[in-house]
Amino acid sequence: MRCTATFTLIALIALSSFASAQDFCGCGNFEDPTLTFSGEALMLWRDQNYAGPLVFNETTMAPALTGDDVNYGGAGGTRLTLHREVQNGWAFEAVYFGMNDWSSNYLVTGNNNISLPGDAGIGTFDFFAADAMGVALGSKIQNVELNVTKTAGNLQLLAGFRFFGLTEDLTISSYDADTFLSDYRVKADNHLYGGQLGARYHEQWNRLSLYGETKLGIYDNSSDNSTLFRDLNNTLVLRNTRNNANSTSFVGELRFGVDYLLTEHLHATLGYNMLWVTDVALAPYQLDFTDTMTSSQFLDDSHSVFYHGINVGLVATF
């Protein structure tokens, strides 16, 4: 928390020192304010680095499904930006992106030979020698930013505050003709708060312009996980745990693209985005296939996730 607060303070001081005190106090000429609004479709893909076993085949005595066999694929969302120029190159902006909802499902079938890895399924009715198991993965993100920017020529510097939320869940559903269907579900939530620094640069040729943007920040991550493991057609609770922790995370963002002026007040934009988030809790790493008194009584928030994809939209200036 102390590291996050220090970085936030540094971000604000760094931007303030970029302009003279005369600019910021409004002693210069006051220009007509400009309001810019952009709405974009944002298609993002995310990586999946968990490689451990998820489903075990008792006949072959080998994993039937591992983390290497699954992925999240792509998910569409929205990015909205409101940018308000004040004076002398100073501006305030609000940024939101999210509603990206990744989901994927996998099915392993057998004949009284499908089990959970490790010891977790041995003492159960539905998760040992089952007929089929399905694995469902889900992930969502939400991002909100409040920034102050300062423009000098083609360069724009920014400092501000970012909230980034990441929610994941993973469910292993086991079906057995003798005892029906039960679920082993884990969920992980991450709430990142902190300051960021960034810069934008653009070059324009008539109606066409190229741009690049980078942001980075250090954040306090308040994370938690939950496990619900049930048996006998979900009538018997084997585990019901919840854990929480605080850690320091890093978020780095890089964007670049092209804008094309359609009218005096409207242009189209197309770009590519990369986002890297470290030290977060991801659902697959919360799985625990042991069978002890302390099973699932932990939180693993030491992993990273990388997002990348394209944006396309319109930008209006008033």
Give the pLDDT confidence score for residue 8 in this predicted structure.
52
Model confidence, pTM: 0.89
87 lies in which domain range?
2-317
- And the tokens for 193? 């708060």
CATH number at residue 91: 2.40.128
Give the pLDDT confidence score for residue 100 in this predicted structure.
87
Full pLDDT tens readout for the chain, 318 residues: 555 555 555 555 555 554 443 344 444 333 455 899 999 999 999 999 999 999 999 999 999 999 999 999 999 999 999 999 998 899 999 999 998 899 999 999 999 999 999 999 998 999 999 999 999 999 999 999 999 999 999 999 999 999 999 999 999 999 988 878 999 999 999 999 999 999 999 999 999 999 999 999 999 999 999 999 999 999 999 999 999 999 999 999 999 999 999 999 999 999 999 999 999 999 999 999 999 999 999 999 999 999 999 999 999 999
Give the pLDDT confidence score for residue 30 in this predicted structure.
36
Give the pLDDT confidence score for residue 58 in this predicted structure.
95
240-255: b (≥16 Cβ within 10 Å) or e:
ebebeeebbbbbebeb
Beta-strand runs (E) in the chain: 35-46, 53-57, 62-66, 74-87, 90-115, 130-152, 155-176, 180-205, 208-231, 236-263, 266-280, 303-317
Give the pLDDT confidence score for residue 9 in this predicted structure.
52
How far apart are the C-alpha atoms of 197 and 215, rounded to whole Å? Answer: 6
Give the pLDDT confidence score for residue 179 in this predicted structure.
76
How far apart are the C-alpha atoms of 114 and 135, rounded to whole Å? Answer: 13
Query: How many separate domains does the chain show?
Result: 1
Give the pLDDT confidence score for residue 18 in this predicted structure.
46
Say what the alpha-carbon torsion angle 263, 264, 270, 273 is, to the nearest 10 degrees.
-160
Give the pLDDT confidence score for residue 146 in this predicted structure.
98
Q: Provide the pairing of β-strand 35-46 with 74-87.
A: antiparallel
